[in-house]
């Protein structure tokens, strides 16, 4: 059963950055079910448009798509600035997560990790804020990871950027709460997304479906700055 409270609190528009499959698509579905109008971003145009068409067929919501690389912030800014809609809810889902020893990861790839995982959420949140402040309401969801709660070998740079997102959310939660804006970092454990399946051989304990991770995170928005979806993952973070 879906509550309509979120739509009144943050709607009518939500932007999901990294939205054509996996967790990003699950966020889009969860928000469409709640009646949000959607702006969906991802790089692969055909995949994104096919997903948006499927969503329009199931839910009577307006959906705008933009095929863009989140590493290219100027392009993202051009799209967002041209949007007539005021973004009431921003979900920054995409991440660049190459697996391997730090010494083997090329400089270009390291810069890309920073552009997508750090610069993207930082600048997109800043870009969306003035309208949220004006409306005295809004929500920002940043995807962090359990990998960002400690040093993670073979994911060193990615894990460090996930830690950045959690720390950013903690401060923004405090700064923006009095202005009516909720911020959350979702410190997810393993989620069965195409990205996870491509990087892992086996299912880790506490693995969630994208739908479970998205629903739990959205329900936690407004209740605290950092959230760990799933009981086993909460325990893992504690220990
Ligand atoms: N999966 C896990 O087990 C897990 C665990 C903990 C935390 N997380 C976090 O959860 C989030 C989602 O994880 P995931 O890797 O599993 O991804 P996902 O949600 O399965 O998909 C990534 C989505 O983002 C888009 N995307 C990726 N890079 C992009 C870019 N540079 N510009 C625009 N769009 C981009 C992809 O489409 P295109 O390829 O077409 O661009 C796709 O739609 C990430 O922030 C990750 O750190 C995941």
Catalytic residue among 13, 162, 177, 234: 162
Q: What is the pLDDT of residues 126-147, one digit of tens each?
A: 999 999 999 999 999 999 999 9
Q: What is the pLDDT of residues 6-61, one digit of tens each?
A: 999 999 999 999 999 999 999 999 999 999 999 999 999 999 999 999 999 999 99
Neighbours of 156 (CB within 10 A): 18
- 27 belongs to the catalytic site: no
Query: Average pLDDT of the chain?
Result: 95
Alpha helices (H) in the chain, listed in sequence order: 5-10, 22-33, 45-58, 73-82, 107-114, 120-135, 156-176, 194-199, 210-220, 231-238
The pLDDT assigned to 129 comes to 97
Q: What is the pLDDT of residues 211-233, one digit of tens each?
A: 999 999 999 999 999 999 999 99
Helix pair angle (120-135, 73-82), 10° resolution: 20
For the entire predicted model, the pTM comes to 0.97
Q: What is the pLDDT of residues 182-191, one digit of tens each?
A: 999 999 999 9
Look at strands 226-227 and 37-42 and give their pairing. unpaired
The pLDDT assigned to 1 comes to 46
- 13 belongs to the catalytic site: no
Distance CA 86, CA 168 (A): 23
pLDDT, greater one: 196 or 36? 36
With bands split at pLDDT 50, 70 and 90, how would you rate the model's confidence at 90?
A: very high
Q: What is the CB < 6 Å shell around ligand 1?
A: 18-24, 41-44, 47, 69-71, 93-95, 97, 116, 143, 145, 162, 188, 190-191, 193-196
For ligand 1, atom 10, the nearest C-alpha belongs to 143
The pLDDT assigned to 201 comes to 66
Distance CA 208, CA 191 (A): 5
Gap from CA of 82 to ligand 1 centroid (Å): 25
Average of per-residue pLDDT across 65-93 = 96
Gap from CA of 134 to ligand 1 centroid (Å): 30
Question: Of the residues 25, 94, 122, which should be mutated to test ligand 1's pocket, given the most ligand atoms within 8 Å of the CB?
Answer: 94
The pLDDT assigned to 202 comes to 77
Q: From 3.40.190.10, 3.30.479.30, 3.40.1190.20, 3.40.50.720, which CATH number describes the 8-238 domain?
A: 3.40.50.720
């Amino acid at each position: 059963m879906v509550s309509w409270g979120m739509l009144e609190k943050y709607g009518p528009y939500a932007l999901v950055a990294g939205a054509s499959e996996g967790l990003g698509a699950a966020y889009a579905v969860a928000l469409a079910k709640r009646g949000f109008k959607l702006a969906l971003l991802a790089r692969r145009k055909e995949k994104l448009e096919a997903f948006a068409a499927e969503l329009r067929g199931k839910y009577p919501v307006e959906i705008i798509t933009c095929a863009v690389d989140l590493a290219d912030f100027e392009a993202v800014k051009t799209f967002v600035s041209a949007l007539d809609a005021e973004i009431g809810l921003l979900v920054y889902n995409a991440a660049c997560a190459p697996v391997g020893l730090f010494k083997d990861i090329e400089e270009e790839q390291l810069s890309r990790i920073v552009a997508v995982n750090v610069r993207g959420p930082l600048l997109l949140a800043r870009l969306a804020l003035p309208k949220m402040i004006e409306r005295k309401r809004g929500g920002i969801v940043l995807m962090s990871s359990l990998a960002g709660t400690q040093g993670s070998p073979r994911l060193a740079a990615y894990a460090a950027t996930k830690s950045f997102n959690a720390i950013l959310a903690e401060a923004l939660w405090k700064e923006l709460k009095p202005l009516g804006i909720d911020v959350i970092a979702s410190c997810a454990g393993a989620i069965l997304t195409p990205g996870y399946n491509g990087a892992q051989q086996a299912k880790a304990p506490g693995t969630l479906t994208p739908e479970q991770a998205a629903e739990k995170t959205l329900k936690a928005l407004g209740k605290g700055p950092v959230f760990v979806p799933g009981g086993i993952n909460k325990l893992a973070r504690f220990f």
